[in-house]
Structure 1
């Protein structure tokens, strides 16, 4: 057994380090699918050269969760490999499927503490869905950890501090060829579930089919974790999921889009338009004028840190009709594509916790509360926590802390109190 002090040292080291049987193979089809060899972006914008690790093979294993390749994860703030004494960090490429069932390659990072887990179960695994990173390949969490600050290191570090293994996905098309399917329900949920499968399949991880699993994410990651929770019963029923901790989930993109169009967070609306259009095969070009096409091309390589460069855009200046982006999203073909991303129509297979700040300025509080109500109506045990910390960013840290308490109880076999009676 290791002392609490040693576990705390492990957590601190990681927080600094991260930034602050094989089935038959399936060959990518003739159409461009993000996460397959040679895939192009939605806008045909050439992508910057990527490290060889991120280039998918011509033939992708058809069994989701298969490890395609792995290597020690290089971490920006750990050039002397000091964290290796307390945690093993491995960058992986694994197989998943897109929204239409096509095998794709997805990358990510797996962290396994070298300290012992002292909880009531065997060492748990958190499949961690990251919040908004951007659209460009360089924005992928596994690459940010190598070359820049990765804010999700805060949540990952807290989980590792408790002795949990953590797998954080890069999602479809983020790091690999093709457009990132930002905010697309199925590919994000599948990538999150398949990361759990891949972490179990990673040699030396010490994880197996009995490993207790939690799903966790905030913002974009909250939507991905929520989608994964819903998809798990049909897509990954073998996973031993004990619960999902979900923060500020964008469960209704129509309402989120209307809330952020023309604000500081205009870039997020642009990300979502391109990401959903990629997944649902909607060609945005006929709806964009010359300025709009140029804007979309730039957004393809933008990261979250470019937020203020696109703040307060008047989106009507970039459309052929002169309508705002939020208005276009309420018309076909975008309306049906956006509706397909709605979360809350399916029942998760384990209890969930939803954390959402009353003062969230990006994803309306009412959206998170509605998701909780929708799941309650389907018989899910839901704990809904209304936070008082203002703004979307402000709600992140409270979500992380509440998630840790939730998981500790779930992995110990305890149930949280249900909020359904008051929703």
Structure 2
């Protein structure tokens, strides 16, 4: 059974709907009938390419706007939080226009927000169908001349469970899709070229986790910085905020995703109705989960009659949940832009503020951008201009701004 993953929001998709090439590389294995089927044996190194296929990226669901870029789906080797090698898929995009900036063309490792739990929700599928709600941001990166590598995360599209919100798994998937992009043999994607990371919500958590681990996990990358918006840095707090609200489906994703990642059996704590609800949600994408689980009373899903979020406080679960905390003894060695809206209704504003304090205390260069974007969706939109400015400055090697003095 597949397990859920945190998707951003239906309003996010509505915002996207209102907004508004191919390459080649030698494959490492024979092309199967299903691109997403993992091979029996994986290559030796994380980031090694398993196979590729040509794809396309439509910015809008009407397929009226096709990105002018060489687009490849890629399957690559990564490693999950238990250290087990896994096959992960993603998409690599290289703009058709020449890079006119100094040095090599920059590459952005982009981490998307919550997509859903079913394999059909994988970003690499959604981008080809014009249904990726973060397509406008990705198109903006391409318009600035940056190549983009987008991971599908562990188990989303590929066999196995999508370990939604698992810190290490998501970080590895993001860093390894960047490695894979640089190993495709495309002269526009050179090893040692400038790299940055970016993402919002679940993607913000993945970007933040990746920039924490980059120096240790992928020291060869020429990482210039990372943008991370609305980071769900402390999962129990986020879970309690979601429980019973419009985005209760995200909590279903998180509880079962953490169960899969931590190899914990939460089945004994779920009622018959709870087990049936989890099984149904396992096959859904974000819009369906919002429709089917919004404002759900989760007390009927547990044997104890307590809210579903109470499972995050079980003694046998707490150690694994504590390990998911971002900024818990780890900190970036490159500049970071954190952004969070004070009006965020999904991930509490204090999550971002406390993460900034932890990283600043560890000596990182952090700029914490407070916005007043209405709701989680508004915070996403409000952060975009600052995110693009940050990336431009980092790729130009300009001195980073920091407001850590506010958190001393």
CA RMSD of aligned residues (A): 2.2
Q: Distance in 2 between matches of 1:335 and 1:420?
A: 30
Residue 119 of structure 1, CA deviation:
2.6
1:10 corresponds in structure 2 to none
Q: Report matched runs for 1:226-245 at 5 Å.
A: 226-245=208-227
Matched, 1:411 2:401: no
Residue 16 of structure 1, CA deviation:
7.5
Deviation per CA, 1:316-355: give whole Å up to 9, x if none.
1011111111222112222222111100020112000001
> Per the alignment, do residues 54 and 205 of structure 1 end up closer, same or farther by CA in structure 2, a change over 3 Å counting?
farther
Matched, 1:328 2:311: yes
> Per the alignment, do residues 88 and 16 of structure 1 end up closer, same or farther by CA in structure 2, a change over 3 Å counting?
farther
Deviation per CA, 1:246-297: give whole Å up to 9, x if none.
1000000011011111111100111011111111101111011110110010
Q: Distance in 2 between matches of 1:88 and 1:419?
A: 38
Deviation per CA, 1:2-39: give whole Å up to 9, x if none.
xxxxxxxxxxxxx989xxxx9x99xxxxxxxxxxxxxx
Residue 413 of structure 1, CA deviation:
0.7
Q: Would you say the 8 A contact 2:57–2:128 is kept in 1?
A: yes
Q: Would you say the 8 A contact 1:263–1:312 is kept in 2?
A: yes
Q: Distance in 2 between matches of 1:190 and 1:320?
A: 35
- Among 281, 292, 297, which residue is 1:314 paired with? 297
Deviates further, 390-399 or 169-178: 390-399
TM-score, normalised by the number of residues in structure 2: 0.89
Q: Distance in 1 between matches of 2:64 and 2:252?
A: 38
Residue 395 of structure 1, CA deviation:
1.1
1:370 corresponds in structure 2 to 354
Q: Distance in 2 between matches of 1:112 and 1:78?
A: 21
Q: Would you say the 8 A contact 1:121–1:412 is kept in 2?
A: no
2:268 corresponds in structure 1 to 286
1:361 corresponds in structure 2 to 345
SS in 2 for 1:257: helix
Matched, 1:135 2:117: yes
Q: Distance in 1 between matches of 2:341 and 2:64?
A: 38
SS in 2 for 1:96: strand
> Per the alignment, do residues 224 and 51 of structure 1 end up closer, same or farther by CA in structure 2, a change over 3 Å counting?
farther
SS in 2 for 1:150: coil
Work out the number of aligned pairs and report it: 379
1:382 corresponds in structure 2 to 366
> Per the alignment, do residues 418 and 392 of structure 1 end up closer, same or farther by CA in structure 2, a change over 3 Å counting?
same
Q: Would you say the 8 A contact 1:61–1:103 is kept in 2?
A: no
Q: Distance in 2 between matches of 1:202 and 1:82?
A: 26
2:8 corresponds in structure 1 to none
2:46 corresponds in structure 1 to 64
Matched, 1:106 2:83: no
1:247 corresponds in structure 2 to 229
Deviation per CA, 1:219-257: give whole Å up to 9, x if none.
000000000001111111111100000100000001101
Q: Distance in 1 between matches of 2:300 and 2:270?
A: 9
Q: Distance in 1 between matches of 2:98 and 2:64?
A: 20
> Per the alignment, do residues 51 and 388 of structure 1 end up closer, same or farther by CA in structure 2, a change over 3 Å counting?
farther
> Per the alignment, do residues 326 and 82 of structure 1 end up closer, same or farther by CA in structure 2, a change over 3 Å counting?
closer
Gap regions ≥5 residues in structure 1: 1-14, 26-49
1:170 corresponds in structure 2 to 152
TM-score, normalised by the number of residues in structure 1: 0.86
SS in 2 for 1:367: helix
Residue 139 of structure 1, CA deviation:
0.5
- Among 74, 77, 81, which residue is 1:95 paired with? 77
> Per the alignment, do residues 51 and 227 of structure 1 end up closer, same or farther by CA in structure 2, a change over 3 Å counting?
farther
Matched, 1:347 2:314: no
1:198 corresponds in structure 2 to 180
Gap regions ≥5 residues in structure 2: 1-18
Q: Distance in 2 between matches of 1:120 and 1:148?
A: 32
